[in-house]
Amino acid sequence: MIQFKQDIASSAEKKPLSLAQRRKRDNRRRSLVRVGIQIVFFLFAPSLFTSAFTGLKQAFTAIGGGAPLEFSGFACVFVMLCLFTVVFGRFFCGFACSFGALGDFVYFLRTKVEKKTKKKLPRLPKKLAGGLACLPFLILTAVVVLCAVGIYGSLSGWSPWDVFSMLTTLNLRLGRYLVGVGLLAGIVVGMALEPRFFCRFFCPLGAVFRLLPMLPWSVLKRDTDACIKGCSACTASCPVSHRLGTEENAGNCIRCDKCIGVCPKQNIKTVGRKQPAVALLLTVGKAAILFLLAFLLHAVRFF
């Protein structure tokens, strides 16, 4: 009798997982890998965003002042992230950017509060969010113009990016950055209202990345002909509300890969369909390459 029960238990354990169970398992693994990569980069390379942004500012300040371009360490980080984005898509935005990781964490806390209180917290109206989508380009243009005319340097106390960089290095001497502190606080509040609030509405580097060409294997595509009519699972799961399609602007996608696991027809893929385990290995590999490049450019810190 005991042996019979053991045989039943053994057969139950070996029962293959259903499609829904496999999807749930793969989504869990994908989420754990993404969070793990975000933690590593937030701890050891939090300055990648601010370094690249500084490189951008230095270039246009030099151009505006008629000075020769200097290939500084900041400029190297900016160029490296642009080239990495061309080759691998906006992987930096989806996995390695400290601002993006902070936004994901703040919005995660919001979802926990909603579950605990069983109340929906407010979000931005859809029309307002849609109207703000062009704001990163306006901010990028303003930054470029202010740098070119030599004004941006005098506004350093206004920059939330400078404040964020100081905080990640535990530099709390923020007396000259009160406006920047206020702006950063406002951005954090916005992160609780909308997923990837900063990325969608305020990131000047994201605007640069959206304009870059990307190699075919880095672009997520959706086989719209095979989709279930009326299904919008991929768009609903996208933190930047990107409507994925075969011909749409790939630069809008931050390659967080959250949409891949929610598609009931598994229509979302890059060039060539890959098994989930292989896709995870490729994700870890891209993170390792980016981390190595950051290390070589002295953008990695070890406490």
pLDDT tens, the chain, 303 aa long: 455 445 545 545 557 767 667 777 878 888 899 999 999 999 999 999 999 999 999 999 988 888 888 888 999 999 999 999 999 999 999 999 999 999 999 999 999 999 999 888 889 888 888 888 899 999 999 999 999 998 887 777 888 888 888 888 888 888 888 888 999 999 999 999 999 999 999 999 999 999 999 888 888 877 777 788 878 788 888 888 888 764 556 788 898 888 887 877 777 777 665 677 788 898 999 999 999 999 999 999 886
Domain ranges for the chain, please list them: 43-64+71-296
Sign of the torsion formed by the C-alpha atoms of 122, 123, 125 and 126: negative
Q: What residue has token string 């045989």? A: 7
pLDDT at 303: 67
SS3 for 295? helix
Is 0.85 surpassed by the pTM of this model?
A: yes
pLDDT at 11: 47
Picking from 290, 251, 246, the residue whose alpha carbon sits closest to that of residue 270 is: 246
Distance, in Å, from the CA atom of 194 to the CA atom of 104, rounded to the nearest integer, reads 10
Cβ distance 53 to 205 under 8 Å? yes
Token pair of 165, please?
A: 């960089």
